[in-house]
A = this chain, B = another copy of it.
Amino acid sequence: MAASSEYPAMTTKPRYLTGDKAGLQEFLDKFDVFLFDCDGVLWSGDHLFPGTVETLELLRNNGKQVVFVTNNSTKSRADYKKKLGTLGIPSSTEEIFSSSYSSSIYISRILNLPENKRKVFVVGETGIEQELKSENVPFIGGTDPAFLRDVKPEDYKRIAAGDPSILDPEVGVVLVGLDFHLNYLKLALAYHYIRRGAVFLATNIDSTLPNSGTLFPGAGSMSAPLIMMLGQEPVSLGKPNQAMMDAIEGKFQFDRSRACMVGDRANTDIRFGLEGKLGGTLAVLTGVSTKEDFVAGPIKPLAYLDKLSDLLEVQS
């Protein structure tokens, strides 16, 4: 990757701010908006990191806009607000930006679909359905139990013939997210819709999903069979894809030079902020990437902290 030529900032060694009170204050003063990756930054699994609530409070009290940016498509913004609440983090739905929401915005406001091709075939869970509803986008598939069945011999013939009773002619988009109920029928239908001209979208392409301290199949793994069959990649609406950044900017109308992306992963979070040409990127060492990744790797944040709550040192 010719990263250093694309991002001049990435050739500079990131600044270590833990314990540097003046440096922290200077850093905070540069930004009006903080975009937060969540898992690995604010919490890990079900474990809230100490000081998370106080740090968010500090930022809000200093007039900073806080945005929670998540690739998790199984939850709607309302679901996510509930999850934050359960962990003890106060938030408003307006502060939450999920890949299910960015996908819905992309479909409703950016894709220019013909009148008779506005329906979405969903491979995914209720979070996607709720957000499509919030944007008045019609859809089929998803959690509809009619799709939770085996493929029958006659299905092959009906699909091959383009029978409208099994291939809805109004479908113009296939949107693939994490689906705990993925099956052969859904894969076959998604494949044929795309072959027949539907736009191939993915809420995100993370191959794995962290849970209980290990990894499980992620949304990218649901797209993988289709990518292999079609020889075509989906447009991803999650980090680090800039379609998500454009959607966030479209909603919050912020000045990118006064915004900072905070995350634990170099190749998704920090890359997302760098490619989005935000004024800053801040890494924390409580998640996936290590200090070595950030200091010696090809994708360097502007600054890094041992942990997010080190920001509280500005008050000391």
| B-binding residues in A (CB < 8 A) | 150-151, 156-157, 159-161, 179-184, 187-188, 191-192, 207-208, 211-218, 220-222, 224-229
- What are 13 sample pairs from A and B whose C-beta atoms fall under 8 A apart? A150-B181, A151-B180, A156-B214, A157-B212, A159-B216, A160-B213, A160-B214, A161-B212, A182-B184, A183-B183, A187-B217, A187-B221, A191-B216
Cross-chain contact A182 with B182 (CB below 8 angstroms): yes
Q: Is the CB of B184 within 8 A of A184?
A: no
Picked from B156, B160, B161, B217, the residue with its CB within 8 Å of the CB of A229 is B217
Using known A-B contacts A159-B214, A216-B191, A221-B187, determine if residue A207 contacts B228 with beta carbons closer than 8 Å.
yes
Using Cβ atoms and an 8 Å threshold, which residues of chain B touch A222? 225
Assuming the contacts A181-B150, A222-B225, asked whether A191 and B212 have C-beta atoms less than 8 A apart, the reply is no
A236 CB → nearest B CB, Å: 13
Contact of A224 among B150, B191, B227 (CB under 8 A): B227
The answer on a CB contact under 8 Å between B225 and A229 is no
Q: Are A156 and B188 in contact (CB under 8 A)?
A: no
Residues of chain B lying within 8 A (CB to CB) of residue A224: 221, 224-225, 227-228
Which residue of the partner chain B has the closest CB to A157? B212
Beta-carbon contact of B156 and A211 below 8 Å: yes
Nearest to A185 among chain B residues (CB) is B180
For A207, the chain B residues whose CB sits under 8 A away are 225, 228-229
Chain B contacts for A161, CB-based, 8 A: 212
For A205, give the chain B residue with the smallest CB separation. B228
- The answer for the CA separation of A181 and B184 in the assembled complex, in Å, is 7
Q: Is the CB of B225 within 8 A of A184?
A: no
How far, in angstroms, from A161 to B214 measured CA to CA in the complex?
9
**Complex-state Cα separation, A151 to B209, whole angstroms:** 14
Q: In the complex, given contacts A151-B216, A207-B225, A224-B227, what are 12 additional A-B residue pairs having Cβ atoms less than 8 angstroms apart?
A: A156-B211, A159-B214, A160-B213, A184-B217, A187-B217, A188-B216, A207-B229, A215-B229, A217-B225, A221-B228, A222-B225, A224-B224
In the assembled complex, which residues on chain B have CB atoms less than 8 Å from the CB atom of A220? 228
**A188: which B residues are within 8 A, CB to CB?**
216-217
How long is the Cα–Cα vector from A222 to B227 in the complex, in angstroms?
12
Smallest beta-carbon distance A181→chain B, Å: 7
Contact flag A191-B217 (CB < 8 Å), given A183-B182, A224-B224: yes
The one of B160, B212, B214, B225 in contact with A225, judged by C-beta atoms closer than 8 angstroms, is B225
Q: In the assembled complex, how far is the CB of residue A232 from the closest CB belonging to chain B, in whole angstroms?
A: 12
Contact between B150 and A211, CB atoms less than 8 A apart:
no
